Chains A and B, each alone.
Chain A
Amino acid sequence: MTARHTLSTRQLSAGYGDTSILNGIDITIPTGQITSIIGANACGKSTLLRTMSRLLTPHQGQVLLDGRSIHKMATKDLAQLLGLLPQSPIAPEGITVGDLVSRGRHPYHKLFSQWSSTDDVAITSALKATNTAELIDRDVDELSGGQRQRVWIAMALAQETDILLLDEPTTYLDVAHQIEILDLMVELNQDRGTTIILVLHDLNLAARYSDHLIAMKSGRVFDQGSPQHVMTEPTVHSVFGLNNKVISDPISKTPMVLPIGRYKQA
């Protein structure tokens, strides 16, 4: 993938029905990097991701891909450039892993176009990257939460988009699988140059794995920049309303947040 595409928003407001959840969001996602969106529950992270991938129409402002409004682009063209894995997707009963992953190729097919070797290559590499090749004939219903999540990611990878948005891809995974998924994101980013946008709840992993952080609070961008810039004690306190201490992660030398509750302090 040689083409590099840049995703940004201009004065974006969006929401459901008449209620605006997002207000005046102005962000530019760094091309070819990993960006994480952090923020408290219900602050609008999923809403932002859904608006940026055209699932929601903005009330005001625009989402721009290389300067063009994505809401004016042909949907299938956009789906070849920008992929989304929603928060907790639901697989239909009785679908096999192979079938699910191959549906990621949908944007590349016309009405009666034949399955091509390009499709096969994309699927094989998606299965390999997510370590799910041996699950191919299994029913998705029968998989563990972690396996299922990796299969969904494989579907998103099969779409072979330059930009990939994933809403909480590590939720429901044990710590080892969380790391595995995030390592996979890094590989994808390095090998294919994919621009990756994640919603993550684990602040320390977000700081460790991201090049760029966007901290949201009540539908607005509170702060954005490098993990060192964003992950500070005052910011975490304002965004999450949580007393905390930020130290340096001894493994990655990125900021590490230690939450301070009302109890259990030595």
Chain B
Amino acid sequence: MKFLCTYFSANRFPPMMLIGCSAVLLIIMCTLSISIGTRVVAWQDIINGLMGSVATMEEASVAMRLPRTLLALLAGSALGISGAIMQSVTRNPLADPGLLGVNIGASFFVVIGLVWFGLSQMSHYVWLAIFGAATTALFVHVISAIGHDGATPLKFALAGAATSIAISSFIMAVVLPRNDIAGSVQSWQIGGVGGATYGSITLILPFLLIGGLLSLTVARKLNTIALGDDVAMGLGESVTRIRIHAWLAAVLLAGATTAACGPIGFVGLVVPHLCRLLVGIDNRWLMTLSALCGANLLLAADVLGRILARPSELSVGIVTAFIGAPFFIWIVRRQKVKAL
């Protein structure tokens, strides 16, 4: 690993090359995601399925995998960008929509809406999730800023972790007495793309688009914040405005993703971190690459989950947690949580 780091930081690769490679990889991943599953299919079935035919079981399962692939692609890129933004805006390598409790906060509101108010439509989920994500982000901000040294990276991550645990147990407490919905909440709670439908994708798409647009417009501004608040202001930016802009983008992306997939952890942590080692710290490249690699990771995790647990399948949320947890430890050890 040590070798890897020195190699990466010494020879940064040309951004266009990296983006080209990950785009090609993305095409491969999409193909795999459509063709590999618990049911084995032939090339002809794939082509027929893509054309919309559902005549045979094989063709039907290919057609089923299409929205799932699309959702994994969208969710992965959204989480990748969201993580990149959170890391940049907090100058904290441990920032991630999962670790900071944003995803679980989103699901908390969804569960509350479901259990207490009977809001079970996807269109409700989206708003609840985004509102929950925003509230949690704000909450974690406030508690980590308590104390004279402000929101240090570690305090931020700890505040996020503590909030996540608190919210998780609260969700349990809310759901447990309700046998009728416990099952559906639980499967959603693990985080997966298996239940994807075109309907749910259409519902979150506007939010993802707005989030993506906001990210695109904040990337260059985040480059100034990286130099410290004083320098950023000296370069003509309003630091508060950038922060709000960036958090809005990150929360929209993470919230909408959670609404459709449940809380998926670690993608927003792992992806931007590795991408930063590869492409450097210019947020314009970093976000683009994080979007592509996030999609790649989530697609890969989803395919892996289908292969590993045949004839059943593992949810992506579980697979990403398996990949992400050791990675998290590696980051903490590697930089002793140095600020970005």
Q: Which residues of A contact B (CB under 8 A)?
A: 50, 53-55, 75-80, 83-86, 89-96, 99-100, 103-104, 106-107, 109, 111, 139, 155, 159
Contacts and interface: CB of A to CB of B under 8 A. Distances in A.
Given A75-B236, A106-B223, A99 B91 contact: no
Nearest to B282: A99
Given A76-B236, A104-B235, A139-B9, A96 B230 contact: no
Nearest to B219: A111
Given A94-B281, A106-B220, A75 B237 contact: yes
B8 to A, nearest CB: 9
Contacts of B340: 92-93
A54 B223 contact: no
Contacts of A99: 280-282
B156 to A, nearest CB: 17
Contact of B234 (A53, A77, A111): A53
Contact of B236 (A79, A96, A111): A79
A104 B224 CA distance: 9
Nearest to A86: B230
Contacts of A106: 220, 223-224, 235-237
Interface string B245-277: 000000000000000000000000000000010
A86 B234 contact: yes
Given A93-B281, A99-B281, 8 more contacts: A54-B233, A55-B234, A75-B233, A78-B236, A89-B231, A92-B281, A155-B231, A159-B235
Interface residues of B, number: 25
Given A92-B281, A106-B220, A100 B227 contact: yes
Contacts of A155: 231
A234 B152 CA distance: 45
Nearest to A99: B282
Nearest to A165: B234
B147 to A, nearest CB: 17
Contacts of B228: 86, 89-90
B39 interface: no
Contacts of A50: 230
Given A94-B280, A111-B217, A84 B234 contact: yes
Nearest to B236: A79
A93 B238 contact: no
A79 B236 CA distance: 5
Contacts of A76: 236
A83 B282 CA distance: 22
B139 to A, nearest CB: 24
B310 interface: no
Interface string B45-61: 00000000000000000
Contact of B238 (A75, A89, A91, A92): A75
Contacts of A86: 228, 230-231, 234
B280 A96 contact: yes
The 5 closest A-B pairs by CB, nearest first: A79-B236, A84-B234, A76-B236, A86-B230, A92-B226
Contacts of A92: 91, 226-227, 281, 340
B338 interface: yes
Contacts of A103: 223-224, 227, 235
Contacts of B335: 93
A94 B233 CA distance: 22
Nearest to B277: A94
B165 to A, nearest CB: 29
A32 B131 CA distance: 53
A83 B234 contact: yes
20 contacts: A55-B234, A75-B236, A75-B237, A84-B231, A85-B234, A86-B228, A86-B234, A91-B227, A92-B340, A93-B338, A93-B340, A94-B276, A94-B281, A99-B280, A103-B223, A103-B227, A103-B235, A106-B224, A106-B237, A139-B9
Contacts of B282: 99
Nearest to A91: B227
Nearest to A75: B236
A21 B340 CA distance: 31
A55 B234 CA distance: 7
Contacts of B224: 103, 106
Nearest to B340: A92
Contacts of A100: 227
Interface hub of B236, B237, B335 (most chain A Cβ within 10 A): B236
